[in-house]
Structure 1
Amino acid sequence: MTSSILVTGGAGFIGANFVLEWLARHDEPVVNLDKLTYAGNLDNLAAVANDARHIFVRGDINDRALVERLLAEHQVRAIVHFAAESHVDRSIHGPEDFITTNVNGTFHLLEAARAYLAACPQAQRARFRFVHVSTDEVYGSLGPTDPPFSETTCFAPNSPYSASKAASDHLARAWHHTYGLPVIITHCSNNYGPYQFPEKLIPLMILNALSGRPLPIYGDGRNIRDWLYVTDHCRALMRVLEAGRPGETYNIGGWNEKTNLDVVHALCAILDRLRPEGAPHARLIRFVADRPGHDRRYAIDARKMQRELGWQPDESFDSGLSKTVEWYLAHQDWVARITSGAYRQWVEKHYGTQVAS
């Protein structure tokens, strides 16, 4: 039987981009397991809707029996684990969902993988990989002159979201060292690009600017993030899957430290050029009260990825941001469906509360 890879959360922003990029580069099928919460969107996968290599399953990573069945039925030789609640503001207002998905879900996925491998022949076990996709937020906050986060930086999460991801990282590491599960952990910086749900900074600012609504920036706007174009991240993960060493951690960053204010001004400049009727868009910028526990600076040292796996980002921040703005301008129908509630109604009409496969 032909092998496949299992992607969890493959209808979300990064997961969907990974599925699309994988199928553009490989013939190997993808089993895509996604619960289709608010951020999971089958519209993201419209380009592969009729591709026999893409097997979509609506389901929960906490459903261990379902995961074990999928692993066995599809002879899965790797798991790429994206499925997570990922928005800091939502974690502040409702942390329980983050524990349920990010911690408990990862535990059940690790256990399902362990049970599956126990029944596999030795050659199949040796080939198997579990790539656990995490975030730079587990490392906490950097001072203005601190060196970027490396793979040996101590964890110091400051939000319910980052704490739940740190917990899942510890589980993944422990399952490797205790049970020999071939886990590889990655920590990425802030992703941006096509199909990102418009609660995140860049798509939110694009859509607000196009509608003439205020562009709200937390605090003084000087919080710094490292920005990584999503396709560069997907290529890095493919390289990790191909040549990464089990038990290792790899930091994936874009070498693009920018303040939030700088990002928004750059977006406004692009929109001024592409949509001059709304210019100057920067007039819409408004500063709002800072959120609790807002980390001041993140920065990723991605030299290990370059040194060991030969990866580096293709996109500069300027090129990636231009591509992102142009994509949102060209996909107003996607934006309208994701923001109107019509998409949620469609999911419930077609799937109801049942797991479909």
Structure 2
Amino acid sequence: MQEFKITEEIKNLDLTNIKSNLFHYRYDNKNLKDLFSKDGVLKEDSEQSPTYHSFKGEVFENIIYEHLLRYAQSNDEIKRFILKGPHQNKNNIFKKNGLLIDKGAQIVYKSVYKDISEFDALFFTKDCIYFVEMSKSKKTSGLNKRLFKKSALLKLLFPSFEIKALIVLTQGSVGLSRFPDYCTIWITKEFNDNEILKQLILKKQSKEKLIRYTDKKFIEAINVRYKKFSYFQTLEWILEKSRAHKTHAVDLSFFKSKKLALYFDIFTKLYIGFMTLKDFKQIVPYEGEVKDNKVIVTIEKINQKKFEVVYYIRLTNYKLKRVAYSKNKITIEDKDPEGFTNKETRFISKILKPEHRLLIKNINNLNKKLEQKYITSL
């Protein structure tokens, strides 16, 4: 992204031209006010509290977003820039699916009322779409991992655009060389402006009129055109296609395409059928019962080089366990009752047919192939 260079204003987190707009963002100040004494002094050790640290990151994101608005306004290469926060039309927050601004005024892509991905900012050039990620954390490994899902989703939504990313970090961040080639890194000074944080928490400054950006390049998320991505229909299509081979129980070659590589980055795991509990217990040392006598089987992307067979066991409608068994070691994890995996497995359970059953020999063959790295990230 050679055409976009960080400005001194952004590098130094200069608030001169954006400070008043920061007071128009919504902040949950209730618990934050408790960090200050009655005379407005930050209590001892409060600066190290998780609540204060989280708020600091939130304000940092708003500062960068406000700077990006100014940056986009004066840069002819940026053709469209999506508005969020106090800049977006409040009438558009009621949309439930697709690319939208959620109730927290953030840019998200939703499916079945749940966030698939959130973007700190999105903007377009003539032939590229850039997603922006901002972080104060010095450790960047988690952020780096999240890029795969965001990039994959945007490739599906905008197939005619090249996908790039702008990563905004602070001085002292590590792991910069591990970011993908499509990323450009901006480094700002450390954000330690406790005075602006105090003013935002205690609302010590009167709110001035919002500085708006009215150029036609500034657009609402609801007006962006993109290719429809149907979350559950895609999972069903993958299940059916993976089991459609005439001679193989599971068509592993189906998973080797670039399109399926994107789906692995979005879903992490792809569903390929089920085992009976009796068969499952013969190959995995699991003790316990399972709803409907079915253990759901997936191929899961563990990292960029490793794929494994992973099982999901439903005990009740909402109680779900993830079971992995590798090198004679079993790992059992409880899944969030309200999470996507719970919704996915409930959906998959309803569409499973007898012909989706996998036998012990099928699982053994799958494990062997995956250990040989038959599937690799593209």
**More helix per residue: 1 or 2?**
1
Give the alignment's TM-score, normalised by structure 1. 0.26
Determine which structure has more spread, i.e. the larger CA radius of gyration.
2
Q: Which has the higher contact order (CA 8 A, sep 6+)?
A: 1
User: By percentage of residues, which structure has more strand?
Assistant: 2
